[in-house]
Amino acid sequence: MAAKLVSLIVLLAFLASPPACEGDIICFNGWLRLPIQDPRLCPPGSRSRINGRTRALVPVPRPSGLGLGLGYYNNRSSRSYCPRAEGIVRDAVSKAVAAQPGIGAGLIRLFFHDCFVRGCDASVLLTTTNSNNSDTEREGNPNKNSLRGLEVIDAAKAKIEAACPGRVSCADIIAFAARDASSILSNRRINIRMPGGRYDGRESFANETDQLPGPFSGATVLLSNFEAKGLTSEEMVTLSGAHTIGRARCAFFSSRLSEMDPAFAAKLKAQCNDDNTNVDQEHVTPEVLDKRYYQDVIDGKALFTSDAVLNSAETIKQVTENAKKAGAWERKFERAMENLGKIGVKTKADKGAEIRKVCWKVNN
């Protein structure tokens, strides 16, 4: 009886609160779709809300990356001198992607999921924190049982520590790994100028992963997510192009098969044995980081709601340019990834910043 009463109270509280929606009822900022559709809860024209807030009226400053620099570990006069660092990361990524191309997509995703929560501080890697909490970002709904490439980061870190103990941060290793994975998967067509100099954070909380845009996010939510990090609408469209690689769970798009190209939807339906089945996010060149994703958006073959909404009046011009103009998306992606890597960076001067000895736990 008590359990029923609690459930009723939760339901009433949900119904009484302003909906966080764009059409369907969406919770956890675009990562979970509740199995109800009710126009009373999401009337036409209702505004999206993020964690109970509408879009910020005060613009967030652009990421500055203050303290970062290209070739950061090559300065002989610096205490951070470690000339082999970037080469060690590149070698670890190359071997991992050669053995399993999907790891490359995982490393790019890992970088995004790190930088969007607490900034680029490797908080996404932690299982042991300064607060001794077990509910770290790795346990958050967008990350739980889905992060890939962790072993690549750990392998690179171990070799770097053997060569240059206490000098190279896990945050920089994640950034360099995403850079190198992008280069390899694009057949060297994408070359990101990724600076170094980030320090590692000491805290990580699962509930903060609600800042990450999800597969059910609508256009307003997506834009709000990116604006909150100081990124632009164009960078949002550009970084979404990383969905041209990797795999997607059928649970994240099966509810919108009727909205897709009919023949393509039928093919997906045949592939999706259940909600936990994974399919390629892009069906023509699924292991190549290229602009093909944008043609899928135009043709009604994008999987996620967050992809399909880019075929709207506000963003279709950028989508079309990326799809049709050779080299345009690749150059934009290079710049957007560099700016992503400047979000909320910690440096030696910041309280609670360190160079971890092991990437999954804070130093004693």
Two tokens at 325? Answer: 């103009």
* 347 annotated as ligand-binding: no
How would you list the strands of the sheet with 24-27, edge to edge? 21-22, 24-27, 32-33
Grouping H, G, I as helix, E, B as strand and the rest as coil, residue 199 is strand
- With a CB cutoff of 8 Å and minimum separation 6, the contacts of 164 are 73, 81, 82, 84, 85
* 123 annotated as ligand-binding: yes
The C-alpha atoms of residue 364 and residue 357 are separated, in whole angstroms, by: 10
* 290 annotated as ligand-binding: yes
Q: Which among 113, 118, 138, 229 is annotated as catalytic? A: 113
Is 113 part of the annotated catalytic residue set? Answer: yes
* 285 annotated as ligand-binding: yes
* 161 annotated as ligand-binding: no
Two tokens at 77? Answer: 């006069």
The C-alpha atoms of residue 306 and residue 310 are separated, in whole angstroms, by: 7
* 244 annotated as ligand-binding: yes
Residue with tokens 């072993």: 151
The C-alpha atoms of residue 307 and residue 244 are separated, in whole angstroms, by: 10
* 135 annotated as ligand-binding: no
The C-alpha atoms of residue 102 and residue 96 are separated, in whole angstroms, by: 9
Is 110 within 8 Å of 147 (Cβ atoms)?
A: yes
The C-alpha atoms of residue 180 and residue 192 are separated, in whole angstroms, by: 8
Residue with tokens 């103990």: 165
* 283 annotated as ligand-binding: no
* 117 annotated as ligand-binding: yes
- With a CB cutoff of 8 Å and minimum separation 6, the contacts of 24 are 33, 34, 37, 42, 216, 255
**Annotated binding site for substrate, which residues?**
213
Active-site residue numbers?
113
**Annotated binding site, which residues?**
114, 117, 119, 121, 123, 137, 213, 243-244, 285, 290
**Annotated binding site for Ca(2+), which residues?**
114, 117, 119, 121, 123, 137, 244, 285, 290
